[in-house]
Structure 1
């Protein structure tokens, strides 16, 4: 990984870690967060995945507009490290441990590649 790409990735990780710690305390059922990016097309290629424990928790979060809250937090934290997203709705996805287990036998690497 080139030095500039490594620094960019570290900034993404720093921002998303802040979101993750906050979300674990404030959003019921939230478990963890991850991201993928092709840094030659960054930030357009950035995808952030927020993972909940169950589909029911994810659906309840949507009802309570926690998806909007999480997108805003992600956008805010990324902006703090100098990364501007045009529209967080295109960059942030939501998933659940339960769905990964049922559809991909718990293989998150496979699930992230195919979704």
Structure 2
């Protein structure tokens, strides 16, 4: 990872940490988030995964349209560090510990990549 990419990744982490902490207080069931990207194709390759405990919690978030609020918050935080996403719905996904455990034996590294 060269110096420019490292700085970009550090800024992403800072922005996403702010979003993550804000979700913990207002989005029931939200646990954590992570990101991955191919920096040769950035920001189009950026994938942000918001993790909940269960699939039911995700369904409830979708029913209350809180996913739109989460995407908007993430997009606002990314803009503050100079990252513009064309369509945040293509970059931000909801997932659950329950699904990862069932499909990937709890191995998030394998699930995300």
- TM-score category, normalised to shorter length: over 0.9
Counterpart for residue 93 of structure 1: 93
Structure 1 Cα separation of the partners of residues 7 and 73 of structure 2 = 21
Q: Which runs of 5+ in 1 are unaligned?
A: none
1:13-92 to 2 correspondence within 5 Å?
Answer: 13-92=13-92
Helix, strand or coil for the counterpart of 2:83? coil
Count of residues paired in the alignment: 113
Structure 2 Cα separation of the partners of residues 44 and 23 of structure 1 = 24
Deviation at residue 86 of structure 1 after TM alignment: 0.6
Counterpart for residue 5 of structure 2: 5
Q: 1:28-82: per-residue Cα shift (whole Å, max 9, x none)?
A: 0000000010001111110100000100101000001111011000100000011
- Give the TM-score normalised by the residue count of structure 1: 0.97
- Give the TM-score normalised by the residue count of structure 2: 0.98
Helix, strand or coil for the counterpart of 1:51? strand
* Correspondence 1:104 to 2:107: no
Structure 2 Cα separation of the partners of residues 66 and 32 of structure 1 = 15
